[in-house]
């Protein structure tokens, strides 16, 4: 049976690992792109934004959505014990009750009109 043989904890990422570190760098870059391009879009390019700018915003928007998904697969670090929580249900509950709403607002497409 698949459910009895499959361990979801194998899919959980280490919050101090290379994948999360690379993801954090990408998210910083995407945030800078959005902060730089969205005001220009609504101030100077009301009708048409150059194609390269639209592509950059689309990549940033996609990255923000992927960030929400990735957070459901990132282990929780318990500071007191220096231990990692690998149980998917606990990770999902903690994320849903803390940062999920903020991340969903951040993931709203920057190409959407205000």
pTM of the full structure = 0.81
The set of residues, in sequence order, having a beta carbon less than 8 Å from that of 69 and lying 6+ positions away, is none
Alpha carbon 29 to chain centroid, angstroms:
12
How does pLDDT run across 62-91, given as a tens digit for each residue?
Answer: 999 999 999 999 999 888 778 889 999 999
User: H/E element holding 103?
Assistant: helix 100-106
Residues of 5-36 as b/e, b for ≥16 C-beta within 10 angstroms?
eeeeeeebbeeeeeebeebeeebeebeebbee
Contact 86, 26 (CB under 8 A): no
Contact 4, 80 (CB under 8 A): no
Q: CA angle at residue 31 from 26 to 34, to 5 degrees?
A: 125
How does pLDDT run across 18-60, given as a tens digit for each residue?
Answer: 999 999 999 999 999 999 988 888 788 776 778 888 889 899 9
């Amino acid at each position: 049976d698949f459910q009895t043989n499959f361990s979801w904890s194998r899919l959980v990422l280490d919050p101090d690992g290379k994948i999360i570190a690379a993801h954090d760098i990408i998210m910083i870059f995407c945030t800078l792109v959005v902060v730089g391009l969205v005001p220009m879009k609504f101030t100077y390019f009301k009708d048409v934004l150059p194609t390269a700018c639209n592509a950059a915003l689309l990549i940033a928007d996609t990255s923000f959505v992927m960030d929400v998904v990735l957070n459901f697969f990132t282990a929780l670090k318990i500071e007191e014990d220096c231990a990692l929580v690998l149980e998917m249900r606990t990770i999902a509950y903690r994320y849903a009750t803390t940062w999920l709403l903020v991340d969903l607002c951040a993931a709203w497409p920057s190409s959407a009109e205000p």
